[in-house]
Structures are given as C-alpha cells and as structure tokens.
Structure 1
Amino acid sequence: MEAMVALGRYEEATDLYADTAERYFEERGLKPSKRLLDSMNQLGNQVMHSYDVLDNIQHNLEEKGIPKGAYLCSYPTFRGIYHHLVRMLEWSGQSIYLMLCTIVDSKGRPMKEGAMLEGLAKRLEESICTSIRNSDVVNHYSKGQYLVLLINTTREDCAVIQKRINYKFLTDRQRTGVRYYVNSVVYEKDL
C-alpha cells in the first residue's frame, strides 16, 4: 500500500486498504494495526482530486440512496468522526456518549470466538442500527463488540437505547446477552 501511495496510485491503495482491513477483521477478528491506520491517514493526506466546481464536489460527497438506520462505518472513519465531535464539544454544548456493546455468554463472559458468534454479531448489528437515530454512528469493533457514538443525548436516553437494542436482539430462551459500557465524551482543553 505504501508503494502504491508513493507511485500516486491512490485509488488502488484505498482498495487494498479496504480489502486488508476487511480480511484482518473477518478472518482474525482484529482491527487494523496502527501502521495500517497511519498508512491510510497518509493516503488521505496525499490524495489530490482534479480541479472541480463546488456543486460537483458537493454532489460527490452526498450519500447515495436513502439512509436507513445508524451510520455504520469502518474504524478509521469512526475514529475521525470521534475526533471531530470531541473538537465540536468545545463550543456546541452537545452531550455525546460512547457506548461499547459486548456479546456475552450465559455466564456473562465476553464471547470472543465460536461458531455462534458470527450470527449473534450480525443480529446485534441490525438491532443497534435500527434502535438508534440515523445521525448516530456505529462501528463493528471486534468479533463480539460494537462501538456506538450517541450524539446529543443523555445518560437516561442511553439506558432507553439499551432496552430497545435488547428487545430486538434477545429472543425466547436465548442464553447469550449484551453487556453495555457507556462513557461521556468530554472535550478537555490543553492547559
């Protein structure tokens, strides 16, 4: 990927990154390495588009189709959105919460592998994405975990959201569940 960036073959480098990140995640349950993330950031800083007018640029930025459910994105995108939102907190006054949803077995232990986990993760993803707003952001962080950014909400709303997710995720006689961890996102000014 670094060689492609050095040769100016940005589109191929982006495709390689996406394929590599997907393989890391699907085959090994790993998120991309720091080196891979750094390479992707370098790629993003080097991509130069051809000269264009604002209307065309805006049209290309628009999301295709009608958005349905939460914004599900890759970890690098999630991380960039997180950084942007933290910066906005300084002046916006919004409350933002970061939620980690972890699939647990019948004894409350995190599920990290197993035949059932893939199906449970897909069902949890659907439950999360249909239980929160289109403006909220979701990332499939590990095989049995999802990160959720809940924007302009309260701690009490987080509990309501957890109940909605559970209602959609849990089925009769299901022995697995979801454990939730919630932190407030706070802007901290360097002194």
Structure 2
Amino acid sequence: MEKKVIKVKMLGEFSISDGTGVSMISDKNNRSKKVLTLLEYLVTFRDREIPQNELIELLWPDDDADESANTLKTLLHRTRAALDDVSGGMGKEIIICRRGAYAWNNEYETIVDTEEFEKSCRLAASARGEEKLAHLLESIALYKGGFLPKTAAEIWAVPISAYYHNLYLNAVHEAVGLLNADAQFDAIIEICQQAVSIDPFDEELHLSMIQALLANGMQQQAINHYTKVTELYFDKFGINPSPELTKLYKDIVKVSNNTEMNLNIIREELRESEGETHAFFCEYEFFKDIYRLQARAVVRSGGVVQIALMTVMDTAGYKLSQKQMALTMGRLNEVVSYSLRSSDIYCRFSVSQYLIMLPSANLEDSEKVMHRISSNFRKAFPHMKALLHYTSLPMEPKL
C-alpha cells in the first residue's frame, strides 16, 4: 500500500490530515485532550525517541507511575486508532515503540508547518535583496498564529511558542524595512494588519502600520488606528501612548494640513457633522493646545473657564481591576459625552481619569456639572461598583 503524506499544522491550530483535508484530526473537534497532547508532543519532538517516563510525567504528573504506564498503553492504542483515518490504517506504524521509548516514525513523509516556517526563516537570513524579501514574505504567510494555541500555556510549550513568535516578528519587521525602502506601502499595511491581529501589543507593528497608512495618503485611517491603539494600551496596560506614537500622531495632523485646497473646501472640511450635540472629545495632545488657546482668550475677554479631573475608583477608594476599569471608563465616556454641553471639551487623561474643560463656567457651575455626570452615571449603570471622584480648578490665564 502506498504511504500517504501526512500534513501537520501547529501554527494557529493543531491538526493532522492526509494532505487532501478530507480526513483530519483537529483540536477544533471533540477529540480527547490527552490524545491531542500526545500527538502534539510526538510531532514536536519527532527528531528523538521519548522515554515512557517522560510521557507519563507529561500526561499524568500527579498519578502513580505504575498505573499510568497501563493508562499510557490504552491511550497509545486510541491515538494510533485516530491516526488510522489519516494514514490509511497505518497508525501503529506511525507511532513506534523501541526500547521502552516512543517516537514518530519519520519514514512516513510528514510535512509540519513549523518546520517549513523555520526553514523559510533560515533561507531569509542567508539571502539578500529580492530573494531575502521573497523568503520573508513566505515565512510570514506560513505563520497562521501562535504555536499550538490551546496548549501554549503548558510548561513544555511556552519556550517553543516564544521561539516561533519571535521568528515571526523578526520576519515581519525585516520585511517592512525592505518594503518601506521600495515604497510598497500597500504590502506593509497588509502585513501589519495580519501581524497586529496575532500580536496586538507590539508597538513597533502599530508604528509601521500608521506610517504606511500616512505614506499612502490614508490620514483618516491612520488617525483611526492611532485611536484604537491608544485605547488598547489604556485598557490593557493602563499606560499613555509612547512618545513615538504621540509624535507620529502630530505628524499625521501636519500632513493632513499640508494639502493645498480652495477655502470653500477647507471650510466644508472644518464643519462638524450635522446634528452633533455632544461634548467635544479629543486626544490629550489636542486638549493641551485648546487649553492654551482658551487661556489666551481669557486674558482678552476676562471670562472664566474651569477644568475638572474625574477619577474612577472602587467603592473603597482603590484602583479597579484592569477588566473593570476598561468597562467602567468606556461607560463613563458615554455619560460624560451627553452630560456636558456641546461647547465643552474632554479627553482621556490616564487609565482611570477624564480631563474636562468647561468654558464660561465658574466654580459653582463646575460643581453642578460634575454632580450631573455622577448622577447620570449612577442612573445609567446602577449596578456598577465604581466611585467617581472629581476636583476642579479655574484656568490660569496666560498673562
């Protein structure tokens, strides 16, 4: 009987198929976790024989070794039976036993995506120019996601997962550098979109994405992506945008203003959407500019402007958990937006704070506004265990 080619996917999912995709073992079906773990381990370390004790420690670390030896034999029988479907009944020959150790039989042609990926990365490392870029792009295409995502937290899988992930990120960053030199911004955007879906916390990926959007004349998309990233970092890590991201945001605004236009077109672009009645929300960098402009105006007009800082904490006065903070700040944003006047300005100042500017308002007005926000928040979300603390000060005019 002709031996079938066995294809194994370990990046983004785990599956073993006969090459046609008709017969498949996959972590997406209801297959036994122990069967899958045994297969994953045997394929990952198919370059060596694995002692019985090592498999027992992997699968039943807390059980009696003698009892586990018998359980392992039963599990091997089930695993070989599962392989029969993808190998034409050759499961027993694929998992072999020699001298008290088990191994994947490499006499059967087995194509493993991790090995193909690693090979492509090695070829890229030794190549130059267009050939290097071709291998990098091939590597990126092969990486469909993290190594064994449903097993990645296991001690044995963690370093392997990190190894492949780092190879992938290096390939992406190198490819972006080469594509950028050739002004292939569409390709950079496509690569970065895939990469940030796999690793949304790599800031360099986001910087590359925004720079490519900007270079491609897609200023609004660049701003949208910047906003998405800053919200992500606020919600997940409680940190403000890095200086690099902030500088890039300012560059986007500059580019947006460099295009020559007819004054009528400019006026149309400056106009807000019809029916906009909520308060004006902006990034903190813009808030600073508006504050400074208002401070100048106050000197001339003698008017008053209040600024207020609203802080979210738990009912005991401590910081909320990361998950609760993200949820609470999102809901508070909604409430602040409709509780303020359309001429008021606010921004996200930190992971737990909103900064608010109230033109033509005195201290008493400010207190009323803050009370209104707190009251509206409690009415809208009565079951949220969060406390809103606020302080307010008059603007210091620029003398």
Provide the rounded CA distance (Å) in 1 between the counterparts of 2:323 and 2:251.
37
Paired residue total: 187
In the alignment, which residue of structure 2 is the partner of 1:59?
268
Distance in 2, matches of 1:24 and 1:175, equals 23
How far, CA to CA, are the matches of 1:80 and 1:105 in structure 2? 32
Q: Deviations over 1:165-190 (max 9, x none)?
A: 1211125576431100112111233x
Identity, in percent, stands at 24
Say which structure, 1 or 2, has more relative contact order (CA 8 Å, 6+ apart). 1
Taking structure 1 as reference, are residues 108 and 9 closer, same or farther at Cα in structure 2, changes over 3 Å only? same
Partner residue in 2 for 1:86 = 295
For 1:72, the aligned partner's letter is F
Distance 1:149-1:4 versus aligned 2 partners, 3 A rule: same
State the partner residue of 2:249: 40
Bigger shift: residues 86-95 or 44-53 = 44-53
Q: How far apart are residue 162 of structure 1 and its match?
A: 1.7
Instruction: Name the Cα RMSD after superposition.
Output: 2.8
The 5 A counterparts of 1:61-80 are 61-80=270-289
Q: Give me the TM-score of the superposition, normalised by structure 1.
A: 0.81
For normalisation by structure 2, the TM-score amounts to 0.42
Contact 1:4 1:10 in 2 (8 A): no
Residue 11 (str. 1) matches residue 218 (str. 2): yes
Q: 1:63 to 1:89 in 2, by over 3 A?
A: same
For structure 1, the residue ranges without an aligned partner over 5 or more in a row are none
- Select the residue among 83, 87, 109 that pairs with 2:318: 109
Q: Structure 2 unaligned runs (5+)?
A: 1-206
1:56/1:132 Cα in 2 relative to 1: closer, same or farther (>3 Å)?
same
State the distance in 2 between where 1:107 and 1:132 align. 27
Matched position secondary structure for 1:83: helix
Counterpart Cα distance in 2 of 1:18 and 1:132: 22
Task: Report the counterpart of residue 186 of structure 1 in structure 2.
Answer: 396
Match of 2:349 in 1: 141
Higher helix share: 2
> Per-residue deviation at 1:34?
2.9
CA distance in 1, matches of 2:327, 2:251: 35
Cα distance between partner residues in 2 of 1:71 and 1:185: 18
Distance change in 2, residues 1:40/1:161 (3 Å): same
